[in-house]
């Protein structure tokens, strides 16, 4: 096997995958916790046969035009909005993601956000740490039940289905809208199909977003959709920040159009410390960590490494998104 040059844009996340790749290829690793500078990433793409990237590493036409030796990009994520797939295909660069290994962890987290928001768990913790719990008084912390409520899922892929499966344990009514109808989910979990998203926003007590970020879904949730929701309803977003208009979200929550929101993703990301969303006690924000469990991160790293190995050996990749790039 010919030893190829590889560039990996993070070290601390996937040490086992790095060790595996280094046994077969010449691996260079960016050792900082922050993303590599743009000019360095472009330089390395022009020197290497493979890149192992994170979702903050932009692989676009500018980079690909200067990457004459690049053969494969393995993204340690399911979402691919940081990579120009058509442009990579035109350049003959194979692109892979890491599906099928993070959906259970993401579903755990989405449900955790829902519970924490509805029952004021994070809010109560903040109040205690601020010295505001001075007597037994439940009134400031009265929450909303999750059990037997209506859960609306937009995007019934692997993550959405895993969230729905958890909802059955809470005896929730499950309604959903997705690009394709899922009869098997309806049969196994009792989920009810809605042909339009408006119905989800109107009916649900909790709306959980699980669609990918595309040109069609960018800022898909705006003031129009939020205005359809019940004033007692909550929005949960663990997909991508740019699927929701942040100004519209602030207006909806601060004005009482909806009861609150829990978001693992923001626009921009990271969110600025002066962002008005941070002033709202009924908005719960986490730093894009839904998939960040030890076991899941290890699996994602290994799948990314396996994709690179297969591409460089001319073998079928575990999860290639543009096989036409192989010619």
Catalytic residues: 240, 269, 288
Q: What is the distance, to the nearest Å, from the Cα of residue 120 to the centroid of all Cα atoms in its chain? A: 23
* Cα–Cα dist 103/160, whole Å: 8
* Cα–Cα dist 153/293, whole Å: 23
Query: For the chain, percent helix, then strand, then coil, each to nearest 5?
Result: 40, 15, 45
* Cα–Cα dist 2/314, whole Å: 12
* Cα–Cα dist 282/31, whole Å: 37
Contacts (Cβ under 8 Å, ≥6 apart) of 111: 163, 166, 167
DSSP states along 97-154: --TTSSHHHHHHHHHHHHHHHHTTHHHHHHHHHTT---S---GGG-----TTPEEEEE
Burial class (CB in 10 A: 0-12, 13-18, 19+), 219: middle
> Do 96 and 321 meet the contact criterion of CB atoms below 8 Å apart?
yes
Considering only CA atoms, which of 184, 218, 107 is closest in space to residue 153? 107
């Amino acid at each position: 096997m010919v030893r190829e040059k590889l560039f990996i844009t993070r070290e601390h996340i996937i040490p086992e995958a790095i060790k595996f790749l280094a046994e077969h290829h010449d691996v260079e690793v960016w050792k900082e916790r922050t993303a590599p500078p743009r000019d360095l990433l472009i330089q390395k793409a022009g020197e290497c046969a493979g890149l192992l990237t994170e979702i903050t590493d932009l692989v676009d036409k500018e980079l690909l035009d200067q990457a004459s030796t690049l053969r494969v990009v393995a993204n340690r994520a399911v979402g691919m909005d940081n990579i120009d797939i058509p442009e990579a295909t035109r350049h003959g660069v194979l692109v892979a993601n890491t599906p099928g290994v993070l959906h259970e962890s993401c579903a755990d987290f989405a449900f955790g956000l829902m519970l924490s928001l509805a029952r004021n768990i994070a809010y109560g913790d903040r109040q205690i740490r601020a010295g505001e719990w001075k007597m037994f008084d439940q009134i400031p912390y009265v929450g909303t039940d999750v059990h037997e409520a209506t859960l609306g899922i937009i995007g019934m892929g692997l993550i959405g289905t895993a969230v729905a499966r958890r909802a059955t344990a809470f005896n929730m009514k499950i309604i959903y809208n997705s690009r394709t109808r899922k009869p098997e989910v309806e049969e196994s979990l009792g989920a009810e199909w809605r042909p339009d998203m408006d119905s989800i926003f109107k009916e649900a007590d909790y709306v959980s977003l699980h669609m990918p970020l595309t040109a069609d879904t960018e800022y898909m949730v705006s003031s129009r959709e939020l205005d359809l929701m019940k004033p007692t309803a909550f929005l949960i977003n663990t997909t991508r920040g740019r699927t929701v208009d942040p100004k519209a979200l602030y207006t909806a929550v601060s004005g009482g159009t909806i009861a609150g929101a829990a978001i693992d993703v923001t626009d921009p990301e990271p969110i600025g410390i002066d962002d008005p969303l941070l002033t709202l006690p009924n908005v719960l924000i986490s730093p894009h960590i839904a998939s960040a469990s030890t076991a899941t991160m290890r699996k994602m790293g290994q799948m990314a490494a396996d994709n690179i190995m297969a591409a460089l050996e001319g073998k079928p990749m575990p999860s290639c998104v543009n096989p036409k790039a192989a010619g």
